[in-house]
Amino acid sequence: MEHSVVVMGVAGCGKSSLGAALARAEGAPLIEGDEHHSRANLEKMQRGDPLSDADRAGWLEALAAELRARPVGAVLTCSALKRAYRERLRAAAPGLRFVFMEIDPASARARIEARQDSHFFSPSLVASQFATLESPVGEPGVLRVDALAPLPQLQGEVSAWLHGGAGR
């Protein structure tokens, strides 16, 4: 990969699944954003309390450091809900691209409820994710994909885009 890419979107859109598939296909390291949250942030989300900008500041800096440590490219999974968050990540990795996994609130909630026993994220936070989301559509280096499409199709679409194919 020539540049790093962030697989982004609200909770439940499939960032981790697409990120892992993309990293395998591209032979790139995977940075799983959820693994870099502080214990306090994880506990807050488990309780159903939305994270604030201040809560996310250290997490975003840790992710930026991970990107800086991999100048030849990586796949990062990160909600990147606000433009300011995306700009922090862009500052750490010139040429950074974003894949926006677009999903509707009902589908996101259903996915989160289905994994409730194995994931820290509370379904009660879905509405706050959508309220916080500032769509990246129209920003440079962004590909919007349908999060409900089959994973192999999504991975193929993103790989083609990364290599200068359709959707660029």
> What is the reported pLDDT for 38?
83
Region 64-84 average pLDDT: 95
Question: Would residue 88 count as lying in a domain?
Answer: yes
Q: Could you give the number of structural domains in the chain?
A: 1
Domain interval for residue 99: 5-162
> What is the reported pLDDT for 167?
46
- Strand, helix or coil for residue 149: coil
Percent with pLDDT over 70 in the chain: 92
> What is the reported pLDDT for 49?
83
Dist CA 70 CA 118 (whole Å): 29
Question: Would residue 99 count as lying in a domain?
Answer: yes
> What is the reported pLDDT for 114?
78
Query: What mean pLDDT is reported for the chain?
Result: 90
DSSP strands (E only) in the chain = 5-8, 30-32, 75-77, 97-102, 142-146
Question: Would residue 92 count as lying in a domain?
Answer: yes
Looking up residue 44, the CATH number of its domain turns out to be 3.40.50.300
- Tell me which of 63 and 111 has the higher pLDDT: 63
Query: Is 60 a residue whose pLDDT tops 80?
Result: yes
Closest listed residue to residue 141, CA positions, set 101, 95, 103: 95
Question: Would residue 37 count as lying in a domain?
Answer: yes
Residue 126 pLDDT grade (very low, low, confident, very high; cuts 50, 70, 90): confident
Question: Would residue 167 count as lying in a domain?
Answer: no
Residue 81: CB partners within 8 Å, gap ≥ 6?
8, 10, 129, 132, 133, 134
H helices within 69-104, ranges in order? 83-92
Question: Would residue 168 count as lying in a domain?
Answer: no
> What is the reported pLDDT for 20?
97
Percent with pLDDT over 90 in the chain: 68
pLDDT single digits (tens) 22-43 = 999 999 999 999 889 888 888 8
- Strand, helix or coil for residue 121: coil
Residue 154: CB partners within 8 Å, gap ≥ 6?
14, 18, 21, 101, 145, 146, 147
